[in-house]
A and B are shown apart, each in its own frame.
Chain A
């Protein structure tokens, strides 16, 4: 239970989320009446301790331990809560902002590091791809035909009369320049470093 000082802005965390670029216009966190529609329809709540109503309550209580709480990583980003909320709140978007705060604070980088190859591929070709680190697990579940598909992809795409997947060189260079200037490339380097540290540990 948090205790607040008189005059302290207890909605600081909620307000910082509302102001985030990821938050939809008029995100209704402050209007939440804890009705629980979100939790009643949430797939993660059905199978884990994750509870979107509780997440919102903690945000409204300015509970900053939430940022370091692993529970926020259980959300599916399915937007079911977002689509049914009577006051235009979205636990889904709140989670997205909370995870970004965790990433900015350091701890969250190891959570997203396994996906860094997606961005490597984006910078190389303008297209994202499922990171190859996951392949051995996927082949186990999908079967060997899946890896054969990867090997025969070019041929299959030709048979289907599809155009090229990869972007022209000039466009890939433009994309790299954009991502350099948005700060993404630097962000990716920090995430990658986190992955390398983990791999050598």
Chain B
């Protein structure tokens, strides 16, 4: 398995986490602190272009140049291990690092642009960032410390049945770097089990895309929702209470659209969507509103909070 770092980490902010589920970032920070992960955040880091890139708006060269700038910032911050909150950032940055390391003409062009823009200090040198050794998903950083999790759990969440949705852009784009089997990933389940909950390890459509499909959700909604519905129906059949995520785009798809998809199928799902960091933070006793940020969710997370209060009356949550 690839070597996963626990220090010199640049926690790479995500445009969708920022505005949709900011609690994912605060939960990750909370969990990293508890697990003794050393990290920093840079206000200079720009967005990876992901949504625009996969909406075909950004060309590969521009996306790569912007990644090179962010890599330069990671180097200047002395935190070269990048950990992303979003699966698309993960895939985009890995691809860009591969291009910058192997395509000399692209690297030269990017560096020439940086020279001409007064940011020579951010110029990219071969192997500044290695796709496999320096770019990770935050979930992998937590997975690497899974054996430390049981001792830190303060809240009993064992009453919930959880399943995982491993994002396609984590599992499938750079599948050779995915932890475990990309066709049956268990990264999220392993973390959830360490928190002491029952997990549905396999369900029909487990490796399906969320259905967002970048442009599809906006331009081709019926198609997008038919794919999302397949998975929601399977989760319902398996009586899943909580679906655990590692990508804000997938989380939006299942959380925000769940009600309207349910209505079209004359059913109700009530499947709570949480990022795995939010779930671990809850298990570690984090405040649901001030850390986990459940107030920005569409499917109410309150049933989890109520149950926590009921079974853990000592915890003032």
Chain A residue nearest to B122 (CB atoms) is A174
In contact, A156 and B213 (Cβ under 8 angstroms): no
Binds A, one of B51-59, B189-197, B236-244: B51-59
In contact, B46 and A114 (Cβ under 8 angstroms): no
In contact, A80 and B26 (Cβ under 8 angstroms): no
Tell me the bound Cα distance from A138 to B26 in angstroms. 26
Binds B, one of A8-16, A58-66, A116-124: A116-124
The number of residues on chain B lying at the interface, defined by a beta carbon within 8 Å of a beta carbon of chain A, is 79
Chain A residues touching B, majority SS: helix
The number of residues on chain A lying at the interface, defined by a beta carbon within 8 Å of a beta carbon of chain B, is 75
Tell me the bound Cα distance from A187 to B56 in angstroms. 12
Tell me the bound Cα distance from A117 to B143 in angstroms. 37
In contact, B113 and A178 (Cβ under 8 angstroms): yes
Q: What total of A-B pairs shows CB separation below 8 Å?
A: 204
Q: Within 8 Å of chain A (Cβ to Cβ): is B99? A: yes
In contact, B116 and A184 (Cβ under 8 angstroms): no
In contact, A43 and B209 (Cβ under 8 angstroms): yes
Q: Which of B203-257 contact A (CB under 8 A)?
A: 207-209, 211-216, 218-221, 223, 226-227, 256-257
Tell me the bound Cα distance from A63 to B290 in angstroms. 56
Q: Tell me how far the C-beta of A124 lies from the nearest C-beta in chain B, rounded to whole angstroms.
A: 12
Tell me the bound Cα distance from A121 to B44 in angstroms. 16
Task: Give 24 pairs: A residue, B residue, CB < 8 Å, sorted on A.
Answer: A21-B64, A25-B102, A44-B223, A47-B226, A74-B216, A76-B214, A76-B216, A112-B55, A114-B219, A122-B47, A127-B47, A128-B15, A140-B260, A146-B298, A149-B20, A153-B22, A160-B291, A163-B41, A174-B118, A177-B117, A178-B69, A179-B66, A182-B59, A184-B58
- Name B's A-contacting residues (CB within 8 A): 13, 15, 18-20, 22-23, 25-26, 41, 43-47, 49-52, 54-62, 64-66, 69, 95, 98-99, 102-103, 106, 113-114, 116-119, 168-169, 171-173, 175, 182-183, 207-209, 211-216, 218-221, 223, 226-227, 256-257, 259-260, 289-291, 293, 295-296, 298
